[in-house]
Amino acid sequence: MNIRFLGTGFGAPYKNRHQQSILIEVGDYSYLFDAGAPVCDILSFAEYDMSRIKTVFISHLHGDHMNGLNDMINLAEFFNIRCDVYLSEERGIKAFRDYTYMQLGRDSDRVDFKLISEGLFYDDGIIKVTAYQNGHMKGLPSYSFLIEAEGKRIYITNDLSPELCDLPDISPDMLIIEAAHFEAETVISKCNQLKVDKVAFVHVMPPEKYDDLKKCNTNFIPLYPNDGEEYVI
Ligand SMILES: [Zn+2]
Ligand SMILES: [Zn+2]
């Protein structure tokens, strides 16, 4: 699996970090996990063939995780995108269907909206995606994702609750965890309890927290990906 960190920022764009979006490539296909803005620009500037994107997964209905989706819908024909978009709530599906109708004057024949359900909800024979509901949205659906392909496992927390009680006892090959809603020591201590080799920190707020994270002792390999960086697992 190839992991491209397209946007590693927190809610607001900040010096060289865009809103959250992570592209996972398996063979000829790619899968977009969250679509923060300006994901279409980022991929276009990199001359990325967006027709490779098979499915988009939106963890929750906060703008910094879905603001880039509008452009993907509007420019689907231009970029030859045909994909399914999984959203965390029915109201999101309705909103994006209405938005599409507003833009095109009809439903899209290229982008299909579907609902995420807890547990294993996606298996196309190439990747499997399991949704774990987390407490970030205080009663509304918000999900972390376990992604399995080619015998490897990646867990993306997306946004969590400030209590950090919604990270299950998992042991993926790579954990991609947010660090906006808790102190550096808290998140490092939690990760130290897991059996995980590599932990990538994204969505770090405030940006000065990178320094705090780097000062902590870890029993895993800590990664601090910048926008545009790629990792192979
Ligand atoms: Zn966020
Ligand atoms: Zn959020």
* Residue 233 placed within a domain: no
CA of residue 64 to ligand 1 center, whole Å: 5
Over the stretch 55-94, which tens digit does the pLDDT of each residue have?
A: 999 999 999 999 999 999 999 999 999 999 999 999 999 9
Full residue range of the structural domain in which residue 111 is found = 2-227
The CATH number for 113's domain is 3.60.15.10
Q: Tokens representing 161?
A: 């609750």
Over the stretch 95-120, which tens digit does the pLDDT of each residue have?
A: 999 999 999 999 999 999 999 999 99
- What residues sit around ligand 2, an ion, with C-beta below 5 angstroms? 62, 159
User: How many structural domains does the chain have?
Assistant: 1
96 contacts: CB under 8 Å, gap ≥ 6: 69, 73, 85, 87, 113
Give all strands (DSSP E) within the chain, no chain letters: 2-7, 21-26, 29-33, 53-57, 83-87, 111-115, 119-123, 128-133, 143-149, 152-156, 174-179, 198-204, 221-223, 230-232
User: What pLDDT, on the 0 to 100 scale, is given for residue 12?
Assistant: 85
Note the ligand closest to the C-alpha atom of 178.
1
CA of residue 60 to ligand 2 center, whole Å: 7
* Residue 117 placed within a domain: yes
C-alpha to C-alpha distance for 4 and 7, rounded to whole angstroms = 9
Mean pLDDT across 174-189? 97
Return mean pLDDT, the chain: 97
Note the ligand closest to the C-alpha atom of 137.
2
Pairing type for strands 111-115 and 83-87 reads parallel
Q: With a threshold of 0.95, does the pTM exceed it?
A: yes
CA of residue 48 to ligand 2 center, whole Å: 27
Note the ligand closest to the C-alpha atom of 8.
1
Q: Which of 35, 76, 64 is nearest to 204 (CA)?
A: 64
Percent of the chain surpassing pLDDT 90: 97
CA of residue 162 to ligand 1 center, whole Å: 12
CA of residue 64 to ligand 2 center, whole Å: 7
* Residue 232 placed within a domain: no
User: What pLDDT, on the 0 to 100 scale, is given for residue 13?
Assistant: 82
- The three-class DSSP label of residue 32 is strand
CA of residue 143 to ligand 1 center, whole Å: 12
Note the ligand closest to the C-alpha atom of 65.
1
Distance of alpha carbon 30 from the chain centroid: 13
Note the ligand closest to the C-alpha atom of 19.
1
Total count of residues recorded for the chain: 233
CA of residue 6 to ligand 1 center, whole Å: 14
CA of residue 142 to ligand 2 center, whole Å: 8
Note the ligand closest to the C-alpha atom of 88.
2
C-alpha to C-alpha distance for 212 and 208, rounded to whole angstroms = 7
C-alpha to C-alpha distance for 7 and 19, rounded to whole angstroms = 5
* Residue 28 placed within a domain: yes
Mean pLDDT across 38-53? 97
Whether the pLDDT of residue 140 is over 90: the answer is yes
Whether the pLDDT of residue 139 is over 90: the answer is no
User: What pLDDT, on the 0 to 100 scale, is given for residue 11?
Assistant: 87
pLDDT tier, 225 (very low <50, low <70, confident <90, very high otherwise): very high
Note the ligand closest to the C-alpha atom of 12.
1
Q: What are phi and psi of 90, to 5 degrees?
A: -60, -35
